[in-house]
């Protein structure tokens, strides 16, 4: 087994283990991380002129943002915020498609910046979410 294959196998096991033990808040954080990693890979693949690998990485980022993060939104409970996030996710998907078609690293950077800001905000509310869940569990 070569080093790359070993790293990929470890990453897959690590991600699967993280997902299996994650609460809903952690699952969203994992989606943000996955999208950011896919974009970072795509950026390197564009620089290395690895067209097929770039396409796969960007497709993964598109799936995470367009299907994963967007599907996590509760439009009834979230109201305007959920709708605004959905529109932002749609915009990110369009920029990722542009990045794929035009090998546009700046589009990848733009989406990564937006995702990182959302992830940072999401991570900041974690203590509040855990506190509320603990209070509810104690009754």
pLDDT means over runs of 10, the chain (139 residues)? 43 52 83 96 96 97 95 91 97 98 98 98 80 49
From the number of C-beta atoms within 10 Å of its C-beta (0-12, 13-18, 19+), residue 79 rates as exposed
In this prediction the pTM is 0.80
Q: How many residues does the chain have?
A: 139
Return the pLDDT at 126: 76
Q: In the chain, what are the domains?
A: 24-138 (1.20.120.340)
User: What's the confidence (pLDDT) of residue 70?
Assistant: 93
Can you state the angle between helices 3-20 and 24-47, rounded to 10 degrees?
Answer: 160
């Amino acid at each position: 087994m070569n080093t790359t294959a070993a790293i990929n196998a470890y990453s897959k096991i690590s991600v699967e283990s993280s997902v299996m033990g994650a609460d809903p808040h952690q699952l969203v954080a994992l989606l943000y991380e996955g999208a950011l990693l896919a974009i970072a890979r795509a950026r390197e693949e564009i620089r290395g002129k690895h067209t097929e690998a770039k396409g796969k990485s960007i497709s993964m980022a598109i799936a995470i943002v367009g299907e994963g993060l967007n599907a996590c939104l509760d439009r009834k409970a979230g109201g305007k915020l959920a709708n605004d996030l959905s529109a932002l996710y749609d915009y990110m998907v369009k920029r990722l498609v542009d990045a794929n078609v035009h090998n546009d690293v700046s589009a990848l950077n733009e989406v990564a910046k937006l995702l990182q800001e959302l992830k940072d905000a999401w991570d900041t509310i974690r203590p509040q979410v855990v506190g509320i869940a603990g209070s509810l569990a104690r009754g």
